[in-house]
Amino acid sequence: AGIDSLGDLRGKRVLVRSDLNVPLDGTTITDDGRIRASVPTIRQLSDAGARVVVTAHLGRPKGAPDPAYSLEPVAGRLSELLGRPVAFATDTVGASASETVTGLEDGDVALLENVRFNDGETSKDDDVRGAFADQLAQLADAFVSDGFGVVHRKQASVYDVALRLPSAMGGLVAAEVDVLRRLTEEPERPYVVVLGGSKVSDKLGVIDNLIDKADKLLIGGGMVFTFLKAQGHEVGKSLLEADQLDTCTRYLEEAADRGVEILLPTDVVVDTAFPSGDREPQPTVVPASEIPADALGLDIGPESAAAFAAALADARTVFWNGPMGVFETDAFASGTRAVAQALTEVTTSGGLSVVGGGDSAAAVRQLGFDEAAFGHISTGGGASLEFLEGKELPGIAVLERG
């Protein structure tokens, strides 16, 4: 149920789990998309007179405080975006947290330090997690789950705390679930899925689940080289998951059996070293079947980018996860740019285009695309994939239990 189900929130302490896991360069936030996406729910609660206590994680610290993963820079940015002060607690459930929460007036907002500085947060032991969730729950009268990017995690601040407080789904999670359901339940056709990113092994579940739902599957990014190798091509020094070769062969056969078109690049952009800043990139376009032994593939080539764009031209529903190449370096960004551009055209012609995943979402923003040109940009990486895999997401199931 939504936030309204919690009744009058004036004066109540509301714990909100947001996903504020943004990329940082030192203490500089390089993409604030997830913070911006979290603002509406926090503002809604604050406007309703709640005393808002935000909890979130940053990165994967090892269950103990680590200054490299402090949320303090995020508190500053959140405050700018909200246009009101955000009190920052230097711990999650300790003295600073309780003082900060006690000091809140109606409508005030606080952010607790990285919840993963506590080993109870991610513990696999239900009792350990539960004990930590008890401490979190003591800080609040109600809980709002709004961190879509973490709903696939059975963690204390996502799952266990919802068992301990009156709980509701925030607007961001509700909106994400709504769009992703449209991709799994009777999508308008043609339905095209574009997958990239570095590893096939991260995408097995989603390929398994979508191979008979999508009309076309376009594959790029680092994972493509395992497919090319499975087709018998040499891939030089490109990324390769040798243990997934049989799986790739099976997907290619299965797709052929089911009449699903799998498109692999026919040309790739290679260099002899991964871009590292030591020297200027030396991009060279080669046929996908002729990657030199000393080269590694870093993007799909121009012919492939055009073919992918053509395959997307008449799509009515598109899901895209994972960049086509090393888009952070301009010389290897063309494939990702072409796919992003093709998605915006799907939106223009009235179709539904969904960008899923931290990397592809960051890519479209970094490449200068207007977010409004896409039907939906998901804040969830792993979460949106697991949703499309058809898995039960603990952070959603716990809110929907009767």
CB of residue 157 to ligand 3PG, shortest distance in Å = 11
Residue 382 within binding range of ligand 3PG, rule CB under 6 A: yes
Region of 147-155, 188-196, 326-334, 390-398 interacting with ligand 3PG (CB under 6 A)? 147-155
Q: Which two tokens stand for residue 308?
A: 């992918």
In the residue annotation, 358 being an active-site residue is answered as yes
Chain position whose Cβ is nearest to ligand 3PG: 21
Helices (H), 192-239: 204-210, 224-230
Per CB under 6 A, 325 contacts ligand 3PG: no
DSSP 392: P
Contact status: 129 vs ligand 3PG (CB under 6 A)? no
297 a known binding residue?
Answer: yes
32 Cβ contact partners less than 8 Å away, ≥ 6 residues apart: 22, 77, 81
Is 205 in the active site? no
Which one among 60, 62, 250, 391 touches ligand 3PG, defined by CB under 6 A? 60
Q: How far is the CB of 381 from ligand 3PG (least distance, A)?
A: 4
Cα gap 145→16, rounded to integer Å: 6
Query: Contacts with ligand 3PG: how many residues (CB under 6 A)?
Result: 9
- Cα 192 to the center of its chain, rounded Å: 19
Among residues 84, 154, 182, 199, which one is catalytic? 199
How many other β-carbons are positioned within 10 Å of the β-carbon of residue 310? Answer: 11
Other CB atoms closer than 10 Å to residue 209's CB: what's the count? Answer: 17
Residue tagged active-site, from 358, 375, 381, 395: 358
CA–CA gap between residue 130 and residue 282 (Å, rounded): 53
Span 33-52, contacts to ligand 3PG by CB under 6 A: none
- Contact between 19 and ligand 3PG by CB under 6 A: the answer reads yes
Q: Which of residues 33, 120, 149, 322 is near ligand 3PG by CB under 6 A? A: 149
To ligand 3PG, the closest distance from the beta carbon of 34 in angstroms equals 7
Residue with smaller CB distance to ligand 3PG, 37 or 288: 37
Q: Does 381 bind ligand 3PG (CB under 6 A)?
A: yes
Q: Does 23 contact ligand 3PG by CB under 6 A?
A: no
Cβ density class 176-190: b for 16+ within 10 Å, e for less: bbebbebbeeebeeb
Could you give the C-alpha distances from 138 to 2, 109, 142, 165, 167, in angstroms and in order?
Answer: 22, 17, 10, 9, 14
Q: Is 280 annotated as a binding residue?
A: no
Task: Tell me the C-alpha to C-alpha distance, in Å, between residue 338 and each of 101, 300, 345, 369.
Answer: 48, 10, 11, 11
Of residues 172 and 192, the one with the C-beta less far from ligand 3PG: 172
Does the annotation place 76 within a ligand binding site? no
| Closest distance of CB 175 from ligand 3PG, Å | 17
Please confirm, yes or no, whether 17 is among the known catalytic residues: no
Q: From CA 94, how far away is CA 2, in angstroms rounded?
A: 29
Report the Cα–Cα distance between both ends of the chain, in Å, rounded: 10
Q: How far is the CB of 332 from ligand 3PG (least distance, A)?
A: 23
% helix, strand, coil for the chain, step of 5: 40, 15, 40
Annotated catalytic residue 316: no
Task: Give the catalytic positions in this structure.
Answer: 34, 199, 358, 382
Question: Binding site residues for substrate, as ranges?
Answer: 19-21, 34, 57-60, 116, 153
Provide the binding-site residues for ligand 3PG, judged by CB under 6 A: 19, 21, 60, 149-150, 153, 358, 381-382
**Residues marked as binding for ATP?**
203, 297, 328, 357-360
